[in-house]
Structure 1
């Protein structure tokens, strides 16, 4: 060791490889009476200050980069570099007050604990089940696509390292293999985020990129184990034996033992009085919080064992997560870890990584900035080149089940450049095992950062899926009336998400009531809505989709209750209801784009959405303060779908619809005022009433004419309309003609059907309307009430209901019924008609 410098009572000793650094107290200063280190001031409180500054900086950077679709991880890496020695670290006062050497050990060890749990979380997310179901062609494509990055990674490393290094060729090859491993990796969570933000998740490019990334992730860990084994030549044999023994132990003893412990009677006991458990899908308490603590303790033990074996603590944590049985306990552990790792430990890791990277002085000795730029360019082009080569070598130049043009192949190559925390971990493992020095590792970190930052703008500029989408050949079949009239398959998109509780049972009951027949079968597309996070588990759902050609009968998506209910629906329908399950991963602010895109791709005539909360036990006064705003993300999403969907949309307020068993008598109620929405609502109810066991009651509300001007009610809404009074009158007259034609056909066709009852009541104003609704609903028991939203309807009956309306997305009638006390136990389905043109309205 050689003395590098002396600073504020410390001696800094740096190894020849410029990686291993020791900090010692200066004996002269330490022994003097004027200076004594205060560990309390310089360790834990300093750690809090460092984390706080890093979180603040990363937040500012993210606000600046957010318009460019950059991820929070990019901001955290940049903030760590800014806090490092290359930027703020150049300030003498900052370096000694914020990043003193005495705090390094606390920072490093805290980061190590975070890394261990992050690796456990990564292993817990990984699942080889979809690996065996991914097509051989895509698997071969992914594996072949790693050959060129491996070769270019080794070549570019020799281009970067200093020619003055005296290391042997074998040592340099080991170091080059570390960078080659980084270059071949494709971070699945980060790729999922990019695809979700750019709305490419459901394209062939997105599916191919995700499945290839999954294969690459598995291969990356295999490569990491390899270079750990070869990192120490004198101990290579013993390390290989240790790794082999670890794999055999985990496979044949560890996993069965964990499965027995997790599912055995010990964990299933509920005898304790202070039981604080977790509720499973069946509503029963299964696991205690102490079980989660034992799992977290097992992570530490596994990390300690592999670290003692010389393999590194992260290998033990990863293997423990990999062999841990999936299920409810694993889900609960992930929920406990996710926020801590993503909000604290990942930023802390980026901070330590930035401190280790001196970007301003990263050019290796004997090399110039031109070498660094060439190294970055080759690294960025490696995946793109490999994708083109594989496309040429495979049949017809296609890297996916369908053909891709050059632009799409280039886009796929750019997407495969997605890097993340796994790449940084690999680089730091190389540092830890003395395979990389400080200069080359700093260049690698910057290269990874630039690759991550370049992907969103390049993909957004080069590839626009909207330009490549073919127009739907079923454009006229985007309403319930059109789909029912043709007596062909009725395509329905059903949306379910975790925040709506048991709504899946209500949705499946609604599908059963939709009268699937041999002539008009139902094709239900169930969309499992998953909020986009930095978590790998969300990405694994898409891997399942891509691997299993998402049929519910084949797929095993991690959405237990939803999938089970959809499987049962298809099984009990005697093939009259065909089901397909998809996963939409996105932020709730943009999730409506995924829903509308899937509905467009499937030519859906109806989108069924769950209401953002359960009103079964709530009255109007209970929900007024919390729901008048659009703060609820589910409510925001529903409103956006209602605005942008190019088909009919139904919003279900479930008040126990799923409790009614199929085959029992179902009483339906429709309040009909007029307009396209009401015609769609009655069409859907009419379809339901065509099957045995369903009774339909239709109440038509006719406004009473008062005074000489029958259009006086239009004055109240002219301020909200762009057209004038004459256009509104003309539109109202046209809607009246369509209503009379539609109702005339309905009366004629249901004249002999005793299960259908139609009554017409003349009312005026909001008070009479509400009184009529109360009398009708209190007069009989109805399981479902279907109404039109009436967002384009012009009616004097509703002019007085505007001030009373709480949920605008339900419309005047839907809101009045759903939030009233007399509708308790009656679910409400609000229908909004899709308007394309006047001719479409007539269909």
Structure 2
């Protein structure tokens, strides 16, 4: 047999083995991994033995690929595609290997690849000019086509250009593919050098251009009044509530109980379970009421669905609770929350505070991801926002049978007026008791516009509402920050629930100087005082910020 015939036989043999390799791995590997998922109890991590078995299989498949002259990574790619996405297996594999692979191995791998190329591009200038011109021409044509099609579809010019830049962006995979071409001796060193440099330039231009041209918060611009203060009397209250952890469900349910759903005070709550995207590539948004399937055997947010279905059943005809699951990267979680509020025409978003306390008043956990989400929602939300702080995780602040003692601390301003409108809804349940404290200073301007608006909003509380046995109104003269702190300490343990306005950026003599000592800026001065570790209280706190109204940006 001639050498040519032997070469053809080897090629056919290796090709047949590789095709069988691609077929057998998913046929055997995926059913085995699905079996691992089924044998993992709900909510529990995957057995470490399963993870070790997958890692050993990965190395064995890489060695097997070398037998028929295929790269080591071929086995890794095929096995990775066979892994069931999402929790518990996919997310566990990502958690185990992402730090080491992404932040340690990937930079070394890219560096080794680029070291093979001479980036000084010393070679025939004609070749360099031809390759550079071809790259520029291809990307200009791509940009022009994309922008033209976007304009034909009535897409704004800036958005079309951003889409074109995103489609033109290149990264690690493209760099590695160039090096594989170079290793195969199909391109010269100068040509590959131009390609690698073009990848770096395009990635930089795309990233910078998209940041300059596209503002995702533009669609949340406050061109409509979506707040409680502007709701008609006895109209339904629409709200969006966030849940991150199981204990948040109890606090959110207690808050919904406190909203006192009734025939003249109906409530529509959209509760979204926000989860971090781990072990999958595509974010998903699930509406549990529509029973949308996500192509996974994992039962997402089962406890959440049951909890709020029972709440809706308890308030049949007066309350509606819709449940959702949003799985997305931590940097884009606020987009899901804000878009849901915009789509459902919500008047307020309720967010859980990032700190959790023990029964003894000590800090049990502090989740910076939740704090980052809350800060982004405060800046971008299309409606009002309330941050719910629960100081005692062992008790419920809402008691449907015994009622709840609520305090509303009013200093003035749009945030306090919004908080007052919400507090008045709590008082519609006669079992709840509402105390409204207005803090005034001797030098306040009674003829000022803001003061007049405050008086108008409080008129109903001092008039019709104060005639009710469950509503009390009291004015306090407070001169400085020390008197404010003393007053808060006096009332902190008298109530189950305290409502305050955030009053971000608003200065007054009652809080002058306290801004410099604020630990949690998202709570404002009064909310931060009530949530501080020095304040001994078991009361839950709601810090309200009224919708930030802005003008729509031009497109």
TM-score range, shorter chain: 0.7 to 0.9
Query: Partner residue of 2:472?
Result: 758
1:376 to 1:584, Cα distance in 2 relative to 1, 3 A: same
> Which blocks of at least 5 consecutive residues in structure 1 are unaligned?
1-231, 269-279, 715-725, 838-843
Of 16, 27, 34 in structure 2, the residue corresponding to residue 241 of structure 1 is 16
Pair 1:698 & 2:434 matched: yes
Query: Partner residue of 2:3?
Result: none
Pair 1:606 & 2:348 matched: yes
1:333 to 1:407, Cα distance in 2 relative to 1, 3 A: closer
Of 90, 107, 111 in structure 2, the residue corresponding to residue 330 of structure 1 is 90
Of 193, 198, 220 in structure 2, the residue corresponding to residue 447 of structure 1 is 198
What does the per-residue CA deviation read over 1:220-262, in whole Å, with 9 as the maximum and x for residues that have no partner?
xxxxxxxxxxxx9764433442233223322332221233345
What does the per-residue CA deviation read over 1:303-346, in whole Å, with 9 as the maximum and x for residues that have no partner?
22222232221111122222233432432321221111222111
Residue 831 of structure 1 and its aligned partner are, at CA, apart by 1.3
Query: Partner residue of 1:99?
Result: none
Query: Partner residue of 2:33?
Result: 258
- Give the CA RMSD over aligned residues: 4.7
CA–CA separation in structure 1 for the residues paired with 2:237 and 2:188: 64
Query: Partner residue of 2:522?
Result: 809
Residue 361 of structure 1 and its aligned partner are, at CA, apart by 3.3
Query: Partner residue of 1:503?
Result: 248
What does the per-residue CA deviation read over 1:410-438, in whole Å, with 9 as the maximum and x for residues that have no partner?
54233212222222233334345555554
Residue 355 of structure 1 and its aligned partner are, at CA, apart by 1.0
Residue 811 of structure 1 and its aligned partner are, at CA, apart by 3.4
What does the per-residue CA deviation read over 1:812-835, in whole Å, with 9 as the maximum and x for residues that have no partner?
432333336775543211112347
TM-score by length of structure 2 reads 0.76
The 5 A counterparts of 1:150-549 are 235-261=10-36, 263-264=38-39, 281=43, 286-287=45-46, 289=48, 291-326=50-85, 327-361=87-121, 367-381=126-140, 383-384=142-143, 387=146, 391=149, 398=153, 404=155, 408-433=159-184, 435-459=186-210, 475-476=224-225, 478-483=226-231, 485=233, 487-488=235-236, 490=238, 492-495=239-242, 502-503=247-248, 505-507=250-252, 509-511=254-256, 513-515=258-260, 520-522=266-268, 524=270, 526=272, 528=274, 537=279, 539-541=281-283, 544-545=284-285
1:813 to 1:470, Cα distance in 2 relative to 1, 3 A: closer
The 5 A counterparts of 1:663-682 are 664-665=400-401, 667-675=404-412, 676-682=414-420
TM-score by length of structure 1 reads 0.53
Residue 524 of structure 1 and its aligned partner are, at CA, apart by 2.7
CA–CA separation in structure 2 for the residues paired with 1:433 and 1:246: 23
Secondary structure of the corresponding residue to residue 480 of structure 1: coil
Query: Partner residue of 1:683?
Result: 421
Query: Partner residue of 1:275?
Result: none
> Which blocks of at least 5 consecutive residues in structure 2 are unaligned?
1-6, 314-318, 551-555
Secondary structure of the corresponding residue to residue 787 of structure 1: strand
CA–CA separation in structure 1 for the residues paired with 2:425 and 2:321: 15
1:760 to 1:777, Cα distance in 2 relative to 1, 3 A: same
1:233 to 1:639, Cα distance in 2 relative to 1, 3 A: same
Query: Partner residue of 1:650?
Result: 386
What does the per-residue CA deviation read over 1:555-599, in whole Å, with 9 as the maximum and x for residues that have no partner?
6499x89844554466443682345555664649xx878866775
Secondary structure of the corresponding residue to residue 449 of structure 1: helix
Task: Determine which structure has the larger helix proportion and give its number.
Answer: 1
The answer to whether the Cα contact below 8 Å between 1:508 and 1:565 also exists between their aligned partners in 2 is: no
Higher gyration radius (CA): 1
1:737 to 1:569, Cα distance in 2 relative to 1, 3 A: same
1:822 to 1:448, Cα distance in 2 relative to 1, 3 A: closer
